[in-house]
């Protein structure tokens, strides 16, 4: 652990304060009296922890509107039978000793930690997700890293699906990519032999049946939709068993329309009955391109300097042919890597996601 020392500044020559401490110092024009100096840290808005805490509530609906948390830490504790909505991005959130609550948490730049909670239903987007000593949590999750449960039982997970107009910008403010979501890749820190402490929610699970839309007049102003087709996060199958032995990899390279193009291809393919298995946004280097794109690497290496790539895996009989024809028709002016054949596609998928998982420390 490093140590931090506070050093006092010596007065400048002549006994004057340094310039940065002179702000607000000087004589009062009206009285001629010397004013006390104002320091830059005195001018910061004071943070009241009560504005970032829900504690000891029962049978209430509470929340924070977009812009009201603005990247601060938040604490939720000792709440029972409550509906709680944080419609903003935050630094970290801890949820302690909550029972039978329904909770929505907007994008969290760092970690969300549930401790000693039971019978809660949640929608959560975060960099890190962890539970300890929890029972019966049902979570629609977007998590950039591998979610961890510890000493917890009866946990169920589904893919985050939610929309309101400010949510996309909040993901950016929290430093989260909408394409990096490992919601179903759970690590159980304390497994019990012969038992399974977690599972997946039914594919047919509807968010609104678990965490209903807010009913208070204040929170209804947030224009929420839980329609999976409108979700900010693309809804993926994750670890669920694939319906087909044919998958296809498509990779978009950085540019002004990368996100829009990826979403367009998702819409085109899913509307034809193909399933989106997983997505990833990650930086690549030339040596990575050789490993992933094989003989096509030289064509794509110059594009890697512009920023991260977005990769999509689609599954279903005929996925490769359909993906190729869609890209040719819809993205004719855009360079996209797409699997060449059913035979090579599974290797493409493995090559890319093995690289991406190593890159992200999974």
Q: Which residues are annotated as a binding site for GTP?
A: 110-111, 127-130
Annotated binding residues, written as ranges, equal 110-111, 127-130
| Cβ atoms of 198 and 146 closer than 8 Å | no
- Element housing 351 (H / E): helix 342-359
d(CA 352, CA 244): 19
In whole angstroms, give the CA distance from residue 323 to residue 239.
22
φ and ψ at residue 211, rounded to 5 degrees: -120, 95
Q: Are 247 and 237 in contact (CB under 8 A)?
A: no
**For residue 235, which of 191, 282, 184 has the smallest C-alpha distance?**
184
> First and final CA of the chain: distance in angstroms?
25
Q: Write the CB contacts of 341 (distance below 8 Å, at least 6 apart in sequence).
A: 320
* CB distance 167 to 149 below 8 Å: no
Q: What are 100's two structure tokens?
A: 């039978």
- Strands 336-338, 309-315: pairing is unpaired
In this structure, the dihedral spanned by the alpha carbons of residues 189, 194, 197 and 202, taken in order and rounded to 10 degrees, is: 130
User: How long is the chain?
Assistant: 362
CA distance 290 to 294: 5
Residue 62 burial class via C-beta count within 10 angstroms: exposed 0-12, middle 13-18, buried 19 and up:
middle
Q: Which residues contact 109 (CB under 8 A, 6 or more apart)?
A: 71, 89, 90, 91, 92, 127, 173, 174, 175, 176
Bridge partners (DSSP) listed for residue 75: 53, 94
Q: How far is CA 314 from CA 275, 329, 350, in A?
A: 5, 18, 13
- Say if strands 34-35 and 26-27 run parallel, antiparallel, or are unpaired: antiparallel
């Amino acid at each position: 652990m490093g140590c931090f020392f506070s050093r006092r500044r010596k007065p400048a020559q002549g006994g004057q304060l340094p310039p940065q401490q002179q702000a607000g110092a000087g004589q009062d024009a009206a009285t001629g009296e010397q004013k006390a100096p104002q320091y830059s840290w005195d001018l910061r808005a004071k943070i009241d922890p009560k504005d970032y805490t829900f504690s000891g509530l029962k049978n209430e609906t509470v929340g924070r509107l977009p812009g009201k948390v603005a990247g601060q830490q938040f604490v939720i504790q000792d709440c029972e039978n409550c509906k709680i909505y944080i419609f903003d991005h935050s630094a970290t959130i801890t949820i302690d000793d909550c029972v039978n609550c329904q909770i929505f948490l907007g994008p969290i730049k760092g970690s969300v930690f549930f401790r000693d909670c039971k019978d809660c239903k949640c929608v959560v987007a975060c960099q890190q997700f962890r539970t300890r000593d929890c029972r019966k949590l049902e979570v629609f999750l977007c998590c950039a890293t591998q979610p961890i449960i510890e000493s917890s039982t009866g946990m169920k997970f589904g893919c985050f699906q939610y929309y309101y107009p400010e949510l996309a910008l909040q993901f950016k403010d929290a430093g989260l990519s909408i394409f990096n979501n490992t919601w179903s890749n759970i690590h159980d820190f304390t497994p019990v032999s012969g038992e399974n402490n977690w599972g997946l929610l039914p594919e047919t699970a509807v968010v609104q049946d678990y965490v209903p839309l807010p009913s208070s007049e204040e929170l209804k102003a947030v224009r929420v939709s839980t329609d999976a087709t409108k979700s900010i996060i693309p809804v993926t199958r994750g670890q669920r068993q694939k319906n087909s032995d044919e998958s296809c990899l498509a990779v978009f390279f950085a540019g002004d329309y990368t996100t829009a193009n990826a979403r367009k291809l998702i819409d085109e393919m899913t509307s034809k009955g193909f399933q989106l298995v997983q997505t990833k946004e990650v930086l690549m280097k030339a040596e990575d391109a050789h490993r992933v794109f094989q003989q096509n690497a030289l064509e794509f290496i110059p594009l890697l300097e512009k920023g991260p790539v977005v990769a999509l895996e689609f599954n279903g009989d005929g996925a490769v042919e359909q993906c190729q024809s869609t890209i040719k028709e819809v993205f004719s002016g855009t360079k996209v890597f797409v699997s060449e054949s059913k035979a090579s596609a599974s290797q493409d998928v493995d090559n890319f996601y093995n690289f991406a998982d190593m890159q992200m420390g999974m």
